[in-house]
Amino acid sequence: MTATPRPGFLESRSLVFWVTVALMAIGAYWRFSSMFDLWGDYRSGIVASIVVWVVYGVVVAWLIFRLQRFEQRPVSATVAAVAWGFFVAGGVVALVGEDLQSLFDKLLGFDTSREWGPAFRAPLIEETMKYLGVVALALIPRVRLTRVIDGVYYGMLAGLGFVVSENIFFSNEAIAAAGGQGIGSEIFDVLVIRGIASLPFSHVVFSAIAGAGVGYFTSRRGRPVAGRLAVTFGLYATAFALHGFQNSPFLDDVAGNVYIKGLPALAVFLIVLRWGRSEYRSDLRRLADTLGPVSGEDVDSLATRHRRKKAAEATDDPRMAGAEQRALIRLLVTADRYGPDSPPVVEAEAALGADSGSRNGTPAP
């Protein structure tokens, strides 16, 4: 019997996989070659900024990974999404950013371009490249990007990769401007302003909104293509507009304008996140009603870590109750991923039966 393939990014038979890997390799060359001019004079500062921002990226990626309520998406695809944002999107910006600025200077005039250019130039190249990363993952079958919430998740990670790439650049520029003095303080300032304070209004949010459109397109296969494309590009255009508004000169004379201009993006993101989670939970409720060991009511009680912890603590054996909860979630996710009658579901049901039997004092078969 042929083994059921596990979800993941590594799929050697996919042309999109190899193209994605090639673009990451080329992007890595572009991204690191852009640091070459500063390397000789500011080597220690560049190394320090890379270390700080990579650690930042790992921490935020872990937090995003923890946001998942049921399905634990493949780690390989998670890493690939971050790598796309860092190497491909970041590399392309490093390669063509100055040329695109020069083009805007010629088309709009120098003064207008410097004032309004960031509102158009940055979203045009940055949102497009991050968006294409989510599209690439959607085209690799084993990634299984099949829901709105999947697009939100991978969009957040692609945006995070770009945040890390971009802020390494800004940290290096700050170090060079300071003549290599005060490396720690220069990196710390960029970290606080661009990494922490701006995170809820950053590329992570923009890309999540655009990525939701990709998830919508892949999850509505029975609907007309024109309507699916309209929603997909509508969400991309929304991310583009929100990014452009944040970079625009509007409200530049108002204190706290970064937060004022960022709040619409955060609000749209929270709406999209709620939409994706609600859709996923509804699907799992319908699926649960077709399975014997689990019901739609179980889905609600398992929906958050807080609910699971509260329910487990109300039992005589919280540890065993927690094990049964994890087995129920594994059964739900497996049935959703492979189909309710698939061999992996039979194994998940057996594992659930073993956990329930142990909890009730019955030896596992």
pLDDT tens, residue by residue, 55-81: 999 999 999 988 877 777 889 999 999
pLDDT above 80 for 140: yes
Q: For 190-218, how does the pLDDT look when each residue is reduced to its tens digit (9 = 90+)?
A: 999 889 988 888 999 999 999 999 999 99
360: pLDDT confidence band, cut at 50, 70 and 90? very low
Alpha carbon separation from 154 to 64, 167, 313 (Å, rounded)? 10, 20, 33
Short-list 319, 6, 270, CA closest to 141: 6
Predicted local confidence at residue 272, as pLDDT: 96
User: DSSP secondary-structure letter at 141?
Assistant: G
Residues 60 and 39: their CA atoms lie apart, in Å, by 27
354 pLDDT tier (thresholds 50, 70, 90): low
* pLDDT (mean) for 310-327: 82
Q: Which of 164-173, 324-333, 351-360 has the lowest mean pLDDT?
A: 351-360
- Supply the pLDDT for residue 102: 81
Lowest-pLDDT range of 123-127, 178-182, 275-279, 349-353 = 349-353
- How far is the CA of 140 from the CAs of 152, 160, 189, 233, 240, in angstroms? 17, 21, 39, 20, 25
Is the pLDDT reported for residue 362 higher than 70?
Answer: no
Structure confidence at residue 365 as a pLDDT band (50, 70, 90): very low
- Give the per-residue pLDDT at 209: 97
pLDDT score for 60: 95
pLDDT for the residue 356: 54
pLDDT exceeds cutoff 70 at 357: no
Tell which residue, 93, 57, 97, 52, has the closest CA to residue 78: 57
Least confident residue range of 180-189, 213-222, 246-255: 246-255
DSSP summary character for residue 346: H
Average pLDDT, the chain: 85
What is residue 361's predicted lDDT score, i.e. its pLDDT?
45
Tell which wins on pLDDT, 358 or 307.
307
Provide the pLDDT confidence category of residue 39 given band limits of 50, 70 and 90.
confident
Q: What is the mean pLDDT of residues 313-324?
A: 83
Q: Which whole number is the average pLDDT over 158-173? A: 93
Length of the chain in residues, anyone? 365
pLDDT value for 158: 97
On the question of pLDDT at 30 being above 70, the answer is yes
Identify the weakest region by mean pLDDT among 80-84, 102-106, 224-228. 102-106
Residues 240-263, mean pLDDT to the nearest whole number: 84
Mean pLDDT (whole number) for 105-115 = 79
- Give me the percent of the chain exceeding a pLDDT of 90: 39
pTM passes above 0.75: yes
Establish how many alpha carbons lie within 13 A of residue 191's alpha carbon, considering only the half-sphere containing its beta carbon: 18
CA 13 from chain center: how many Å?
25
pLDDT for the residue 253: 67
pLDDT for res 353: 66
- In the chain, which residue ranges form alpha helices assigned H by DSSP? 15-33, 36-66, 75-83, 90-108, 110-122, 128-138, 148-177, 183-190, 203-219, 225-247, 257-288, 296-301, 305-313, 318-338, 343-359
How far, in Å, CA of 191 to CA of 167, rounded?
A: 8
Contact yes or no for 3/119 (Cβ under 8 A): no
Residue 118 has, within 13 A of its CA and on its CB side, a CA count of 9
Mean pLDDT of 145-149: 92
Question: End-to-end distance of the chain based on CA atoms, in angstroms?
Answer: 24
Residue 285 has a pLDDT of 85
Q: Which amino acid is at 121?
A: R
CA gyration radius for the chain? 23
CA–CA separation, 229 and 232 (whole Å) = 5
Spatial separation of the C-alpha atoms in residues 73 and 71, rounded to whole Å: 6
pLDDT number for residue 19? 94
